[in-house]
C-alpha cells in the first residue's frame, strides 16, 4: 500500500512502504539488495574514464605554456566535470528509487581506506561515499531511515539462512554451500540479507511500529 502525503507546506512526497532492505556495495554490481535485485554500475563510468585518460595524454604532450596546452587543459577539466555530473545524476535517481521502495535501508559502515587497499584505485571512481551522502540527504527529506551497521560484522561469512559463520571465505568465492544447513549462498545477496537482519535488529520497536502503523489505514 502506498500513501502519498501531499502537504502544500511540504512539497516532498512521502511514500510509506513498510519495507526494510539491506544492501551490499560492490565494484561490478554497484548494489545488491537483500530482496535479490542487483544494480549494475553504469557502463558510462568506464567510457568516461577512457575519455579522461585520452584527454590527459593529449594535455601532457603539448608544449608547456603554449595555447595548445591551455586548450588541452580546459578540455581535460571539462571531461572531469562531465563524468562527475553524470555520476551525481545517476546517484540522485538511484537514491530516489531506493527510498521510494523502502522505508529503512541498511548498509555497512564504509571502510574506505580498507576498500582502497583491497580493490585499488577503482573505489574512488565509484565514490560510494558520495552516493551514501546523497542517499542520506534524500532519506531525511522523505522521512526514511538509513541504518549503518558495524563494518566488522562478518556479513559475507555468515549464512543468512542458519547463522553459521565460516572461518574464512576467499574474496574470489562468489557462491558457497553452508556446511551446517546446506543452503547455497550467493556471496553478495547473502551479505545483503545479513546486513538487513542486523540493521532490523538495531531499529527500535517504536520505529517499526511507526512504520507499520503508517501503512495500516
Q: Of these residues, 6, 7, 14, 24, which one is catalytic?
A: 24
**Cα distances (Å, whole numbers) of residue 136 to 104, 163, 168:** 11, 29, 32
Closest contact distance (angstroms) between CB of 45 and Zn ion is 35
Q: Is 29 exposed, middle or buried (0-12, 13-18, 19+ CB in 10 A)?
A: middle
Q: Is 170 exposed, middle or buried (0-12, 13-18, 19+ CB in 10 A)?
A: exposed
Backbone angles phi, psi at 38, to 5 degrees: -125, 140
Nearer to Zn ion, 66 or 180 (CB): 180
Nearer to Zn ion, 98 or 159 (CB): 159
Exposure pattern of 203-212 as b/e (b: 16+ CB <10 Å)?
beeeeeeebe
Q: Of these residues, 40, 130, 150, 188, which one is catalytic?
A: 188
Nearer to Zn ion, 155 or 211 (CB): 155
Distance CA 159, CA 164 (A): 5
Closest contact distance (angstroms) between CB of 23 and Zn ion is 21
108 as an active site residue: the answer is yes
188 as an active site residue: the answer is yes
Closest contact distance (angstroms) between CB of 186 and Zn ion is 13
Nearer to Zn ion, 32 or 190 (CB): 190
Q: Of these residues, 108, 125, 206, 207, which one is catalytic?
A: 108
Closest contact distance (angstroms) between CB of 199 and Zn ion is 20
Query: Which positions touch Zn ion (CB under 5 A)?
Result: 159, 161-162, 164, 178, 180-181
Catalytic residues: 24, 108, 188
Amino acid at each position: 500500500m502506498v500513501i502519498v502525503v501531499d502537504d502544500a507546506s511540504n512539497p516532498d512526497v512521502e511514500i510509506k512502504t513498510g519495507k526494510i532492505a539491506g544492501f551490499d556495495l560492490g565494484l561490478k554490481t554497484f548494489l545488491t539488495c537483500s530482496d535479490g535485485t542487483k544494480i549494475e554500475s553504469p557502463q558510462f563510468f568506464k567510457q568516461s574514464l577512457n575519455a579522461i585518460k585520452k584527454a590527459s595524454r593529449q594535455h601532457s604532450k603539448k608544449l608547456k605554456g603554449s595555447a595548445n596546452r591551455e586548450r588541452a587543459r580546459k578540455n581535460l577539466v571539462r571531461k572531469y566535470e562531465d563524468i562527475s555530473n553524470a555520476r551525481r545524476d545517476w546517484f540522485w535517481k538511484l537514491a530516489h528509487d531506493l527510498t521510494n521502495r523502502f522505508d529503512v535501508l541498511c548498509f555497512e559502515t564504509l571502510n574506505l581506506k580498507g576498500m582502497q587497499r583491497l580493490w585499488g584505485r577503482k573505489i574512488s571512481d565509484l565514490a560510494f561515499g558520495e552516493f551514501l551522502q546523497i542517499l542520506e540527504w534524500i532519506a531525511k527529506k522523505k522521512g526514511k531511515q538509513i541504518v549503518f551497521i558495524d563494518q566488522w560484522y562478518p556479513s559475507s561469512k555468515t549464512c543468512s539462512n542458519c547463522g553459521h559463520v565460516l572461518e574464512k571465505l576467499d574474496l574470489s568465492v562468489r557462491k558457497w554451500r553452508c556446511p551446517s544447513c546446506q543452503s547455497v549462498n550467493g556471496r553478495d545477496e547473502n551479505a545483503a540479507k545479513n546486513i538487513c537482519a542486523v540493521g532490523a535488529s538495531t531499529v527500535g520497536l517504536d520505529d517499526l511500529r511507526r512504520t507499520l502503523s503508517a501503512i495500516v489505514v
